[in-house]
Chain A
């Protein structure tokens, strides 16, 4: 193995030559922050999420619990069974509808037993309509937001940023990160977008503020 490693690195050195061109300076003249007021960012996020067929329910911080229940009504239909809903282990108690299960760390494929998942997020990007889950206690492990067919994500006002650069700056690069922008979709048939393939086919976002 060392043979191939040394050879590839040696080839790169040969290719670049003895007097290699210095790396050019990178000018970051693009937007790295967003001065828009929070209320406007929340509106942009809502618009972008809805544009990609997610459902957005906005609420006050006190009403999260009731709104999560309403989100499950929207995703599963009224009269859903609490036993079919699993939540991330770090989801605050006040956000959890009665009777739902917490992820117990069972083998990942066992999560297919659930119809819906409720998680928090690490950060949300207004301009692209993106939610980022970071594998932490509120977001849950990656399989949790993947296998159940309906995903409900709760986003706090302070988690919403304008653009991608601000979001990455808030994240731990070494965490298992998943960026979610709408329900699973494909453009593979005649390059037209169709929602709903292997990931959750329904995405409902509870947005505070």
Chain B
């Protein structure tokens, strides 16, 4: 049902010059890897346990998503409405942000603006310090992962406790997140048990470890016991936001475990960090996204808990509320007419779960907190394509991500667009460009072309009758054959066959 109307992938026509706006700064946050995607992926592919864990988890979630999406007769209409609403939001983003600010302020909240990760981290640190607290509880948030808030708080002597189960697994294991929804997707139950036994004080007592099996229910109970007291004593919480409604100033956090509710309800002070693109214009618009997100994300008809709040409510929940609006390269993405669609993302992670590249390489290979297909189009735009140059190529352009996307982001077309941008930005001639130039010359001259074909035919003796050649080309062409097989050249060319059969 979702694969009804896929238009052909946009094949990168020359683009108009986009205005140059500041991208996410280097040296702060988690948008850049220290290795290229192919290098990181090669290591990941050698990890059999990782591949088994990812294969199991992604196939589970694909089946669940397909079932709950299949039972919605108007899924495609919802999807198109979601896309149009996001386009409408981007077209009036300045106006809507000002409206949101007015509404939040009118209801007792304080709005802060952050140009980039560094500024957002400074704002949050200052706000936490002003409360006198030396620890915060955190609701899972991609924006705060993106800006490296935990590290910034730690440097300021403030402990940040992740409370989402998967984030907790990653934090306790001193690991990196590898999935948007389930950052610990690369760990299986036995590995999670090991981390808990090693790091949770409750299992330090002799004999206590025996109580913890690798049964998911037992592991969830261990997390409950570990965090309960922290929730009850916390004075400050930090969250992200799934949506913000400009018309009413309402913020929304969508979650499952109740850790979000604990953080959004119990502390005196709540600080929410939100990317400027998370906006929707009106309250009514949430009716679309609250249907699209849970079914695409965890494959549920509705997630267990959604919290919606507007400013401060006397006698109920935090009495001090701060909203930090984060740019960090988003306006640079907005400046690209093709690429800006990446800002429509509602972080469901459906594209990761259906991606054959993600399923094999895993999230760490992408080097950014945004992995998978959406990460491959978002990260290079937030940082500037030169800082994540290998990501637009981390795809086979199969289009499964586009079909799964609940707001119909045409990820394959953006990938091709970014590849074109990357190629155009090359200062020096690459071996690939030189090879194509030579090919272009050969193909422009009949006798050169025939000569080249005959020369290639000599390669047949290497094939020993197989469909591919068992050799890699020498450098610099080895970069090409490293991830591709060279087909065995045919016995005769088409022209030769034609001449033979038609006697010309």
Contacts and interface: CB of A to CB of B under 8 A. Distances in A.
Given A179-B305, A182-B304, A190 B98 contact: no
Interface residues of B, number: 103
A168 interface: yes
Provide the main secondary structure of the chain B interface: helix
Given A176-B316, A189-B219, A200-B258, 16 more contacts: A8-B327, A11-B331, A15-B332, A15-B340, A23-B88, A146-B261, A164-B291, A168-B290, A173-B245, A178-B305, A178-B307, A179-B305, A179-B306, A191-B185, A194-B216, A198-B261
Interface stretch (B164-172, B400-408, B487-495): B164-172
Contact of B310 (A4, A32, A173, A186): A173
A168 B284 contact: yes
A4 B324 CA distance: 11
A135 B60 contact: no
A202 to B, nearest CB: 13
A143 B291 CA distance: 26
Given A176-B309, A196-B221, A198-B258, A30 B331 contact: no
B441 interface: no
Nearest to A198: B258
Report which residue of A24, A165, A194, A196 has the largest number of chain B beta carbons within 10 angstroms of its beta carbon.
A194
A188 B165 contact: yes
A10 B249 CA distance: 22
A23 B283 CA distance: 18
A142 B316 contact: yes
B262 A198 contact: yes
The 4 closest A-B pairs by CB, nearest first: A199-B258, A198-B258, A11-B331, A128-B302
Interface in A35-72: 48, 52
B121 interface: no
Contacts of B107: 174
Interface string A169-186: 100011111111111111
A174 B115 contact: no
10 contacts: A1-B112, A9-B97, A11-B22, A16-B93, A129-B302, A174-B249, A181-B302, A184-B258, A188-B182, A194-B220
Nearest to B110: A1
Contact of A187 (B56, B80, B256): B256
Interface string B124-147: 000000000000000000000000
A116 B110 CA distance: 35
Interface stretch (B223-231, B368-376, B476-484): B223-231
Interface stretch (A76-84, A93-101, A104-112): A104-112
Contact of A135 (B57, B169, B303, B313): B313
A195 B266 CA distance: 22
A181 B94 contact: no
B387 interface: no
B28 interface: no
Interface of A: 1, 4-5, 7-9, 11-17, 20-32, 48, 52, 105, 108-109, 112, 125, 127-130, 135, 141-143, 146, 163-165, 168-169, 173-200
Contacts of A175: 310, 313
A198 B265 contact: no
Contacts of B256: 184-187, 197
B265 to A, nearest CB: 5
B257 A29 contact: no
A126 to B, nearest CB: 10
Contacts of A28: 81
Given A30-B81, A177-B308, A199 B257 contact: yes
A112 B244 CA distance: 31
A177 B309 contact: yes
A20 B91 CA distance: 7
